[in-house]
Structure 1
Amino acid sequence: MSFDGVFTRAMVKELNRDLENGRISKVYQPFQHEIILTIRANRKNKRVLLSAHPSYARIQVINDNLSNPDSAPNFCMVLRKNLEGAYIEDIQQLGNDRIIIFSFRNFDEIGDQRQMELIIELMGRHSNVFLIDKQTRLIIDCLKHVPFYQNSFRPLHPGVPYQLPPHQDKANPFALEKVELEAIAATFSAELPLFKSLQGAFQGLGSDSAMEISYLVEQDGLSVADAILAFRQQLESGIPTLTEESAKKQHFTPFAFRSLPGEKKAYTSLSELLDAYYDEKASRDRINQVASELLHIVHTEWKKNQLKLKKLDQTLLETEKADVYRVKGEILTAYLYQMQKGDTEVTLANFYDDEKSITIALNPALTPSQNAQKYFSKYQKLTTAVKYVNEQIEQTHAENEYLESIETLIQLSDPQDLEEIKDELRESGYLKKKYKGKQKKHKSSKPHKFLSSDGTTILIGKNNVQNDQLTLKTARKSDIWLHAKNIPGSHVIIESNSPSEETLFEAATLAAYYSKFQNSSNVPVDYVAVKHIRKPNGAKPGFVIYEGQKTLYVTPDKELVRTLKAD
């Protein structure tokens, strides 16, 4: 289901309940399309996400503590100036549309009261967030600017009057009495499917909502008006539900829609429901926003190495011919008297192969002795190359493993932790170092922290540099180290020398989850005391070797990760 007018209505009701008389204490913009308002309400801090993302536009309360960027975008600065310290007076939906209006009161620099509105339009790729002066109706600022020359009907930038987006003349299904609903239903064409007629006549009905009303008509024998009234009643008392129709198709609805096939899971709030639905999608998109450059660099270097390996393998095949050149050189040396300068080839008896004839190509510009020496030189060059080529193949494979580990850690990272991976790539020479101006040092993040069921601390590195720090410097020699076997992933430390079987199993599950095989089953995870871990000289960040390990086979469990997370 999309975030339609029906879901918007339910969300506004939930926000009014949770944020009543709330006060804005903090505003930040972690990503291009997202604003976070920290609101103090009912003695609790609530983080409200306002997303104008083209694909994931929504509003909800979130639990994730997204980082505050080092420098705030202009719109964020405007919101801070005008809204920090402001009180929420009201939260309303415009009709049954996907437009939510926050009304605020605040005081300016000289103590005069100001009234403002924060308007969130959830319109797909046209989604936007506006800060409006309530008295003048002028736009103070907005998240996405649209100049006059791009849209003469509705320019969107500071100083112009706020205008509602163009909308069709449709009725609000929640504002009509039964008689009025019946009058509209009487105009429906029998040639159109009922859900299409519902969407054409009523405002804010997404396809899932329209299909649910149609279901009530067709399956329960209700009139259209009674079906809409029944739908409205269920919306008031329903439980937020996620319906999984298939592995790739899910629907979030404000209550359990009977028209949707599949397994249904109930949630305590709409925001919790949206967290479950958008968690991976939004996180992956945030990663792509922030890390697209890093992933491109990693993929480019990996492709270069694949070509390099192909050439090295070809060279290695050629070195297998080394003995052939030696044999030809020795045969030529033994029969120098049978050749003369100017010959292009010679056929001689091969005393290494039962005197069988062998034809050897010659350079007519060289003497017989020089031709023999040329074959010996080729032999010497190839035998010398074997050691070098094998070393290069080994180094290139090691570099590819490192690049795969970087790619895996990027995919597993929180977007706010990617700056450290970027620093790692600079130190490793994959990114150019910045020399201009004074460099701002990024505050190092801490490893992920988890508590096992019996309270034992489990730490997990977020990047290769942190993996080294955690395993080789922070952990005690008696602590237990875990890592997905022969798979790129994070280092995991159990801060105990004798963890329970349950803790060991949970830590192994975390190690599998924070690895390249996060979506696999029966993942092998090695574990061993830290004292058996060592890092070879010159090895890439994150690479260690160990001995004496044992192996567990586990299946990554996202729900367990959420349950055990302590930070």
Structure 2
Amino acid sequence: MAFDGIVTRAVVHELQSLQRARITKIYQPTEYELLLHLRTQGENKRLLLSAHPAYPRVHFSQNPMAQPKVPPMFCMLLRKYCEGGFIENISQVGLERIIHINIRARNELGDEGYRRIIIELMGRHSNIILVDPESGKILDGIQHVTPSISQYRQVLPGAIYLPPPEQKKENPLLLDQPSFLKRLDFNSGRMDQQLVMQFSGLGPMIAKEIIFRAGLGRPTELWDAFNQVFSDVRAHRYTPNVTTNEKGKQVFSALQLMHQSQQRRTAYDSISTCLEAYYYGKAERDRTRQQSLDLIRKLKNERDKNEKKIRKLQREVQAAAEAGQFRMHGELITAYMHDIKRGDSSYSAINFYDETTPTVTIALDPELSPAENAQRYFKKYNKAKAVRKWNEEQIDKAIADNHYLETVLVQLENASITDIDEIREELHESGFLKTQKKSKKKQVKPEPLTFYSKDGTLILVGKNNKQNDRLTHQIAAATDTWLHTKDIPGSHVVIRTQAVSEDALYTAAMLAAYYSKARNSSQVPVDYTLIKHVRKPSGARPGYVTYEEQKTLYVTPSEETIYQWLKDAHQKKV
């Protein structure tokens, strides 16, 4: 669902608690996102501002976000003008998806001044713009809009700020019944689409909700449903929720959606927790997917090549299975050498190797002696046997390579940007990517993900093979419990305790299933054993182990549960 004007109003209402909050730090975790660290009423809060083209939003955030070592230029500018300042007020423009954050701060000379952060939540046209409210000039924007992009307005340092073009829609909060009915034509077009086109702040989902509540009644009943919705919005009576529709797609809303299934609805106590639950990980996964597309494409091509190679070699092995006849012919020639003469082109011998075939006709080279003909067959046999052995070795290698590639492809699905760098480095070392110049940067030890069970037990999860190796063979103790999906590519999981509770075992099994190829399956088999029973064969690739004395349990992974555990672990770490 789009971040509409009603959701924006709910967010702005919730952000009123930030009046007089001090901006202690500003970060820019990604190209499109800002994170404001705030101190207000004796507590710390984090406000996320996102101009992501697919996921634009504003809300309080508790989720972990990696911070770049070198802040981007826009972040440095915001720090210069806004860090240490106080939020004077936060407002919404009408019922539009535009938020103004007015800030009072001192400049380098100690003089007090005002700045305004404008967040425009307009899909792919979303932006975050820093403006001097006195002059109306733009100091900078997280995205520049040049004359070649828009003739109407530019978002460039020094340009005068102009709001997005007016759509000439009515503000639903200011309407009475006659004005509402005047805007609609009950004889043409779908009414939900007319509502979206005529009234600001209305997204398709709320328009459908109004039509649903109105039923098939008269125009006055449509007004009653419309007025009911906007009476709640006017009075800030929100019921934030995330609903899964019949197609399995999640939608969020600041209001209760009666036209959606109530059985698959999760309610939240604030609009921020609702938005964070809905958006958590989506933007990051989008970004990592873009970063890893080249790797995924290359690995899938390599896997497909291996599958073709395996099929071809298996056909050659099947053909080489007839090599035993070459040896039999050589031995029969040797046995009947006294009857064979140079110049013979064939010889019919009694076949004492196979009772079902009393005689066998052997082709001979008339230019060779009987002994040389025998040697020719023995050479054919030895060559075919060597080819068969080599082919079988190549088949085993290709199968092992594909198992490894499947593991890496699963890891790329769950990877962060840092994980992708580690995976890329591993693929260079394994020979699947061309060798690259070694970075002069200090190599950082790969760190696994941290989780805690309800009883406080520490659980670690490797998200790539380097992390798996380090976790299993360096971090874990011999008496720790090790888990992995049974015969399914996935992560190594370790429970860091000798006395493992049922809850810790269940949590770890859920994590092992989720961070595997079977993450979307049910009743996933997960093996567990002690670390001392896990071995890495000599010369094996990163992440490959053998194990024994395992037991198996079955779990169904839940993405929502895993995300909550991630947030809980981050908060505990902080």
Partner of residue 202, structure 1: 199
Inter-partner Cα distance in structure 2 for 1:377 and 1:29: 70
Q: How does 1:482-497 map to 2 (within 5 A)?
A: 482-497=483-498
Partner of residue 178, structure 2: 182
Letter in 1 for 2:556: T
Partner of residue 566, structure 1: 569
* Mapped pair 1:521 → 2:522: yes
Partner of residue 145, structure 2: 146
Inter-partner Cα distance in structure 2 for 1:81 and 1:431: 43
Q: Is the 8 A contact 2:364 2:373 kept in 1?
A: no
Q: Is the 8 A contact 1:458 1:492 kept in 2?
A: yes
Partner of residue 118, structure 2: 119
Inter-partner Cα distance in structure 2 for 1:39 and 1:374: 86
* SS of 2:298 mapped into structure 1: helix
Inter-partner Cα distance in structure 1 for 2:558 and 2:249: 20
How far off its partner does 1:151 sit? 2.6
Q: Is the 8 A contact 1:246 1:262 kept in 2?
A: no
How far off its partner does 1:411 sit? 1.7
Letter in 1 for 2:27: Y
Partner of residue 410, structure 1: 412
How far off its partner does 1:299 sit? 2.2
Inter-partner Cα distance in structure 2 for 1:13 and 1:366: 100
Inter-partner Cα distance in structure 2 for 1:78 and 1:307: 55
- Going from structure 1 to structure 2, the CA distance change for 1:356 and 1:273 (only over 3 Å counts) comes to same
Q: Is the 8 A contact 2:32 2:51 kept in 1?
A: yes
What is the CA deviation profile of residues 428-485 of structure 1, one whole-angstrom value per residue up to 9, with x for unaligned ones?
233445437x622254453222222222222222322222222222222112111111
Residue ranges of structure 1 left out of the alignment (5+ in a row): none
Inter-partner Cα distance in structure 1 for 2:360 and 2:514: 64
What is the CA deviation profile of residues 192-217 of structure 1, one whole-angstrom value per residue up to 9, with x for unaligned ones?
33323322221121111222223343
Which deviates the most, 509-518 or 555-564? Answer: 555-564
Letter in 1 for 2:383: K
Inter-partner Cα distance in structure 1 for 2:92 and 2:492: 48
What is the CA deviation profile of residues 466-505 of structure 1, one whole-angstrom value per residue up to 9, with x for unaligned ones?
2222222222211211111122222222222232233323
Letter in 2 for 1:36: L
Which deviates the most, 311-320 or 220-229? Answer: 220-229
- Going from structure 1 to structure 2, the CA distance change for 1:417 and 1:61 (only over 3 Å counts) comes to farther
Which deviates the most, 5-14 or 217-226? Answer: 217-226
Partner of residue 41, structure 2: 42
* SS of 2:29 mapped into structure 1: strand
% identity of equivalent residues:
41
Inter-partner Cα distance in structure 1 for 2:434 and 2:68: 22
Partner of residue 319, structure 2: 318
How far off its partner does 1:309 sit? 2.1
Inter-partner Cα distance in structure 2 for 1:442 and 1:119: 40
Partner of residue 208, structure 2: 211
Q: Is the 8 A contact 1:115 1:133 kept in 2?
A: yes
- Going from structure 1 to structure 2, the CA distance change for 1:114 and 1:422 (only over 3 Å counts) comes to farther
Residue ranges of structure 2 left out of the alignment (5+ in a row): none
Inter-partner Cα distance in structure 2 for 1:127 and 1:548: 56
* SS of 2:130 mapped into structure 1: strand
* SS of 1:246 mapped into structure 2: coil
What is the CA deviation profile of residues 252-303 of structure 1, one whole-angstrom value per residue up to 9, with x for unaligned ones?
1112122334432211111211222223543431320332233233323323
How far off its partner does 1:385 sit? 2.8
What is the CA deviation profile of residues 88-111 of structure 1, one whole-angstrom value per residue up to 9, with x for unaligned ones?
222221221112222222222222
Letter in 2 for 1:494: I
Partner of residue 13, structure 2: 13
What is the CA deviation profile of residues 301-360 of structure 1, one whole-angstrom value per residue up to 9, with x for unaligned ones?
32332233233323322321211333444566657956749x7xx574573553446474
Inter-partner Cα distance in structure 1 for 2:133 and 2:315: 73
- Going from structure 1 to structure 2, the CA distance change for 1:316 and 1:216 (only over 3 Å counts) comes to same
Inter-partner Cα distance in structure 1 for 2:22 and 2:369: 96
Q: Is the 8 A contact 2:329 2:362 kept in 1?
A: no
- Going from structure 1 to structure 2, the CA distance change for 1:500 and 1:65 (only over 3 Å counts) comes to closer
How far off its partner does 1:12 sit? 1.4
Inter-partner Cα distance in structure 1 for 2:293 and 2:484: 27
Inter-partner Cα distance in structure 2 for 1:420 and 1:9: 42
Inter-partner Cα distance in structure 2 for 1:361 and 1:130: 89
Q: Is the 8 A contact 1:128 1:144 kept in 2?
A: yes
Letter in 2 for 1:459: L
What count of residue pairs does the alignment treat as equivalent?
558
How far off its partner does 1:506 sit? 2.6
Letter in 1 for 2:55: Y
* SS of 1:439 mapped into structure 2: coil
Partner of residue 229, structure 1: 227
- Going from structure 1 to structure 2, the CA distance change for 1:311 and 1:419 (only over 3 Å counts) comes to same
How far off its partner does 1:159 sit? 2.5
Which deviates the most, 58-67 or 29-38? Answer: 29-38
Q: Is the 8 A contact 2:342 2:368 kept in 1?
A: no
- Going from structure 1 to structure 2, the CA distance change for 1:74 and 1:475 (only over 3 Å counts) comes to same
* Mapped pair 1:76 → 2:75: yes
- Going from structure 1 to structure 2, the CA distance change for 1:357 and 1:161 (only over 3 Å counts) comes to same
Aligned-pair RMSD on alpha carbons? 2.9
What is the CA deviation profile of residues 134-161 of structure 1, one whole-angstrom value per residue up to 9, with x for unaligned ones?
2222222222223223332223322222
